[in-house]
Structure 1
Amino acid sequence: MKRIFKFIERYFFIIILLAVVISLFYSNSFKWVLSEYNGINMLNLLLSIILFTMGTTLKVDDFVTVFKNPKEISVGLLAQYIIMPILAFCLAKMFSLNDALTVGIILVGTVPGGTASDVITFLSKGDVALSVSLTAVSTVISPILTPMITLLLIGNQIHFNPFDMFISILEIVIIPIILGLTLNYKFPKFCDELKDYLPAISSIVICLIVAGVIGANKQAILTSSVIIMVVIILQYFLAMFLGFCVGHLAGMDKKQIITIAIELSFQNSGLSTGLAKNHFPNLSQATVPGALYSVWQNFAGSILAYVFRRYV
């Protein structure tokens, strides 16, 4: 059984591509991902599962690391919540994206770093402790910063309620993390045994979310895929390049520079998709950038991890 989960973790980029192909040919197969059952929003539930698994891998000591390495953490967080939102906004303006795609791209830029960054950092021989700390802290402060920055960037042209987004992120992100953290505190041995399975579980859930969103927006993706894919690829590689620049200018060592670059380019695209669906229901295409970014970051990230490991 453990081998199966390790296989899923190692070849995640292939599995997510298969999920995309299936969702394009059989779009109704994953229709349930964006549905509600007995009042339960399935997309939010799936996102909560990912954040809960992340919580079970964390300990209070992980947050103490923030105070031991204030420089690296501060630089990473400032880059996360300043560079990424501005980059997203500039790309949306440069390519004259419509309101829906603009919302989607900006949400990709304003959400915290994704949990996949920790895995890619490990594979790239980066600073895993720094990656985990950055992901955890950026996620914990996201209920305040994500709605606030999103409001600053698009509030004048597209109406939404930042307080509702704050509550939504608390429910989807913070509560599951606290539950996972509590479980790890109460039953550390049990959670330690789960570590071999959790990355694969998160990977499967991400595949389901991506497949659901792509299936629901099949026509929109097929008609606008060229422009939006160019924007997404640029967003990803520019984020990584800027991460390298920031790390170098901050005087970090090679492992830390690689980590900052990966942390910036790997966003919690699943969360951006969920926020787009929940808070911009009239802009159905707003969910598309998050889904496509998830596919691209995991596909490209797996290849780059090999490059970093061998040549950097």
Structure 2
Amino acid sequence: MKRIFKLIEKYYFIIIILAVAVSLVYPKSFQWVLSNYNGINVLNLLLSIVLFTMGTTLKADDFINVFKNPKEIGVGISAQYIIMPLIALAIAKIFCLDDALTVGLVLVGTVPGGTASDVITFLSKGDVALSVSLTSVSTVISPILTPWITLLLIGNQIHFNPVDMFVSIIEIVIIPIVLGLILNYIFPDFCEKLKDYLPAVSSIVICLIVAGVIGANKEAILTSSAIIIIVIVLQYFLAMILGFGVGYLAGMDKKQIVTVAIELAFQNSGLSTSLAKTHFPNLSQATVPGALYSVWQNLAGSILAYIFRRYV
């Protein structure tokens, strides 16, 4: 059984591509992902499962490490919540994207770093401890910064309630992480055993979310795929390049520079998709950038990890 989960973890990028292919051929097969059952939003529930698994892998020491590397953490978090949102807004303006895609792209830029960054950092022989700290801190402060920065960037153009978004992030992100932390504190041995299985569980859940969103927006994606894909790829590589630049200018070593670049480029795209669906229900295509970004960051990240490991 453990071997199967390890294979899922190892070949995640292939599985997510297969899920996307199935969702495009049979879009209704993942329709349930965007449904509500007995008042429960399935998409939010799935995302909470991912964040809960993240919580079970964390300990208080992970947050204490923040104070051991204040410069690196400060630089990484500042880049996360300044550079990434500005990249998203700039690309949306340059390509004259409509309101829905602008919302989706900006949300990809304003959400915290994704847990996949820790895996890619490990594969790239980067600073894994720094990656975990950056992901954890950016996630914990996201209920305040994500709604505020989103309001600052597009609030005059597109109406939404930042307070409601704050509450959503607390429910979807913070509560599951806290529950995971509590479980890890009470049953550390059990959670240690779970580490062999949780990455695969998270991978499967993200695949379901991406497939659900892409299936629901099949026509929109196929009719405007070129622009959407160009925008997503550009956002990713600009983040990666600027991440390298920021790390270098901050005087970090090679491992830390690679880590900051990966952390900046890897976003919690599942959260951006969930927020788009929940808070911009009239802009159905707002969920598309997050779903496509998830596919691209994992595909490109797997390739870049090999390059970083060999040549950086």
- Give the TM-score normalised by the residue count of structure 2: 1.00
Residue by residue, what CA displacement relative to the aligned partner does 1:222-256 show, whole Å, maximum 9, x if unpaired? 01110011010000000000000000000000000
- 1:242 partner SS: helix
Q: 2:38 aligns to what?
A: 38
Residue by residue, what CA displacement relative to the aligned partner does 1:185-204 show, whole Å, maximum 9, x if unpaired? 00000000000111100000
- 2:224 partner SS: helix
- 1:96 partner SS: coil
Q: 2:24 aligns to what?
A: 24
Q: 2:55 aligns to what?
A: 55
Superposed counterparts of 1:146-295, under 5 Å: 146-295=146-295
What is the CA distance between 1:73 and its match in structure 2? Answer: 0.3
Amino acid at match of 2:290: G
CA distance in 2, matches of 1:111, 1:189: 32
Q: 2:131 aligns to what?
A: 131
Residue by residue, what CA displacement relative to the aligned partner does 1:122-171 show, whole Å, maximum 9, x if unpaired? 00000000000000000000000000000000000100000000000000
User: RMSD across aligned C-alpha pairs, in angstroms?
Assistant: 0.4
Amino acid at match of 1:97: L
CA distance in 2, matches of 1:223, 1:138: 35
Amino acid at match of 1:142: S
Amino acid at match of 1:34: L
Amino acid at match of 1:197: Y
Residue by residue, what CA displacement relative to the aligned partner does 1:245-292 show, whole Å, maximum 9, x if unpaired? 000000000000000000000000000000000000000000000000
Q: 1:86 aligns to what?
A: 86
Q: 1:100 aligns to what?
A: 100
- Give the TM-score normalised by the residue count of structure 1: 1.00
Structure 1 alignment gaps of length 5 or more: none
- 2:159 partner SS: coil
What is the CA distance between 1:310 and its match in structure 2? Answer: 1.1
Amino acid at match of 1:285: Q
Q: 1:9 aligns to what?
A: 9
Residue by residue, what CA displacement relative to the aligned partner does 1:83-137 show, whole Å, maximum 9, x if unpaired? 0000000000000000000000000000000000000000000000000000000
Amino acid at match of 2:266: F
Amino acid at match of 1:135: T
Amino acid at match of 2:38: N
Amino acid at match of 2:142: S
Q: Does residue 121 of structure 2 align to residue 121 of structure 1? A: yes
CA distance in 1, matches of 2:118, 2:94: 31
CA distance in 1, matches of 2:127, 2:301: 16
Amino acid at match of 1:191: C
- 1:112 partner SS: coil
Amino acid at match of 1:188: P
Amino acid at match of 2:127: D
What is the CA distance between 1:311 and its match in structure 2? Answer: 1.2
CA distance in 2, matches of 1:110, 1:178: 22
Q: Does residue 128 of structure 2 align to residue 145 of structure 1? A: no
| Identity percentage of aligned residues | 82
CA distance in 1, matches of 2:3, 2:286: 37
Structure 2 alignment gaps of length 5 or more: none
CA distance in 1, matches of 2:304, 2:223: 29
